[in-house]
Amino acid sequence: MRPAKIATYSSLARKVTTQVTMTAALALSVLMAAVPNPAVAQDASAAKDKPAWLDPALLAKAKAEGSVTVYSSTNEGEGLPLFKMFEDATGIKVNYVRAADGPLMGRVAVEYRANQNTFDVMQTTTVNKMPSQFLAQIDPPEAKNIIPAARDPERRWYGIYANYNTPAYNSKLVKASDLPKTYEDFLKHSEWKGKVAIDNSDNEWLAGMLQFYGEEKGTKLIKDLVKTLQPVVTSGHLAMAQQVGAGEYAIALNNYTMLTMNVKLRGNPTEFWAMDPVILFFGQVGVSSRAPHPNAARLVANFMLSKQSEAFLTKFGRIPTRTDTPSNPPTVGETMAKHKVITVLLKPSEEKKWQQRFDSLFKPR
């Protein structure tokens, strides 16, 4: 009888052991389910934090290219931290080459003729003046969020910030109550003679003025302004904005509103005011038709049109082209909406004609 009894006890032990093991396994599985998987949590966090402009498929192709070269006229104080954001999000190295619009245009022309495929992205206010064969046709997804005027119908460039043209003044030297309400009102202020400045390259502004006033009336008005105010012809819009902010000039007959705001945001006593017409063109981005890193270039273009990029640039006074991104302060964009805005995008041959016209009217003294 003893063996049978031992067998019974063995079966019972195995049964109990099995139940205990199953219960422990179940408890362990419940516990494991309750504890987050670090890898899964990391993937979920990465997906949640991924910028909206970052296309995973394009990113994979861009990372395989290794780097991207950007030619830009944006100053280093804005451009370097902007592209650091791109590098951090993508892991792609940006070779940032900064110069003024004119030298960059000349450099690109020389490189194209020499068949040197050096740059990937061009970011200046003159991309629309480049020959069409220099630029690839691109369709950045973020472009759907910018105003229609900032989209090239041929899809070779897109506006990343709005370059409005308005007068500016030093608020310590000029009272807001004395500001002209029209350009004709400037003719009542002969006391400002020699205290007014204008940049030597404002051919777009001149073209827009004559479009608004008409050829005959506009030409007479400009001549009268020159005679009454005797404006100093300067070189460099940012330098002029700084000079007005410092009180070297009381007024800029015309300047880029974003640069006036840039100087104001740094604590200087300067302000813009708007009168009809407000001339508009854009800081633009385009991709080289011979880009050594075409996928990375397209990713950069999409990034520069993103809300992240345009919102960052508003810290420096630049005015966004996106409809979902307010200016800094929002009253800048609201002010422009109240005025007659004329978009002027000159081709190289047109620019040459208008620059000659400008030089003949604003003869340096």
Inter-CA distances, 29 with 5, 15, 22, 110, 238, Å: 36, 21, 10, 68, 66
Phi/psi at 123 (5° precision)? -135, 100
pLDDT of amino acid 247: 98
Cα 340 to Cα 321: distance, rounded to the nearest angstrom: 17
Mean pLDDT of 33-41: 46
What would the two tokens of residue 163 be?
């370059």
Considering the chain, what percentage of its residues have pLDDT values greater than 90? 83
Mean pLDDT of 143-149: 97
pLDDT of amino acid 110: 96
The DSSP secondary structure of 41-108, one letter per residue, reads HHHHHHHHHS-TT--HHHHHHHHHH-EEEEEE-S-HHHHHHHHHHHHHHH--EEEEEE--HHHHHHHH
For the segment 71-122, what is each residue's pLDDT rounded down to a tens digit?
999 989 999 999 999 999 999 999 999 998 989 999 999 999 999 999 999 9
pLDDT of amino acid 364: 59
Count of CB atoms within 10 A of residue 148's CB? Answer: 8
Q: Check: pTM over 0.85? Answer yes or no.
A: no
Using the predicted structure, report yes or no on whether residue 44 has a pLDDT greater than 60: no
pLDDT of amino acid 24: 42
Inter-CA distances, 91 with 32, 88, 221, 252, 297, Å: 34, 6, 54, 43, 14
For the segment 244-259, what is each residue's pLDDT rounded down to a tens digit?
999 999 999 999 999 9
| Contact between residue 261 and residue 238 where contact means Cβ atoms under 8 Å apart | no
SS3 337: coil
